[in-house]
Amino acid sequence: MNNMIFDLVKNDVSNKSQNINNNIPINKQEIPDLLEEIDIIDNPRQGIAGQISTGLYNYNCSIVGKFKQQSFIVCMHNIKGEIAGGLVTTAYLNVCTLHLAWVDERYRRCGVGRKLIENLISYAKNFGCTYIILDTIMIQGSVEFYHKMGFHTISNYENGFAGSKHFLMRYDIH
């Protein structure tokens, strides 16, 4: 564990200017044709994800006014520089959303997940967040871990991913 290095990678989405043309008029009669052209992208390029994120940010700003938003990754590396585990998150207003969490099997039950979550909580608190929200599934074995870390279950339902029970969880930052 002493050989682990903590990294925090930031990407301020609110200050990015993407080429999104919001001035294209849409003919309501053309909407069915537009819906037929939706693509599912298995490995999205950052540029497309960035345009979607910026478009949503701009739309939300038109409703609630400009607000601070920060996408960031919390990760740990071993001494070889390999990623031992990481979290992909977004903080906005008073909410931090944990999108993805992963710890390499070699480093599970060694404190890596705990350190990642502790650093996430600290960063989110400094950002001004009052809570962290995530969703997870029972088959990953993470529900008990998140409960130990102070998250509580808001909601759950059966038959989620691969038939597993799915959980929506929240951590209140004090």
Return the structure tokens found at 66. 């400009």
Output the pLDDT for position 72.
86
Return the structure tokens found at 143. 């529900």
Q: Can you give the three-state secondary structure of 61-102, one letter per residue?
A: HHHHCCCCEEEEEEEEECCCCCEEEEEEEEEECCEEEEEEEE
Output the pLDDT for position 159.
87
DSSP conformational letter for 3:
T
Output the pLDDT for position 147.
96
Residue pair 152/109 in contact (Cβ under 8 Å)? The answer is no
Mean pLDDT by 10 residues, the chain (174 residues): 46 38 45 40 64 90 91 84 86 93 88 90 93 90 93 92 90 96
Half-sphere exposure of 50 (CA within 13 A, CB side): 12
Measured in whole angstroms, the distance separating CA 78 from the mean position of its chain's CA atoms is 23
Q: What is the residue extent of each domain of the chain?
A: 5-16+45-172
Return the structure tokens found at 36. 């037929």
CATH number for the region 5-16+45-172 comes to 3.40.630.30
User: Angle at Cα 99 formed by Cα 64 and Cα 2, nearest 5°?
Assistant: 125
Output the pLDDT for position 45.
57
User: Angle at Cα 63 formed by Cα 39 and Cα 174, nearest 5°?
Assistant: 95
Which residues are within 8 A (CB) of 41 and not within 5 positions of it... i.e. 6 or more apart? 48
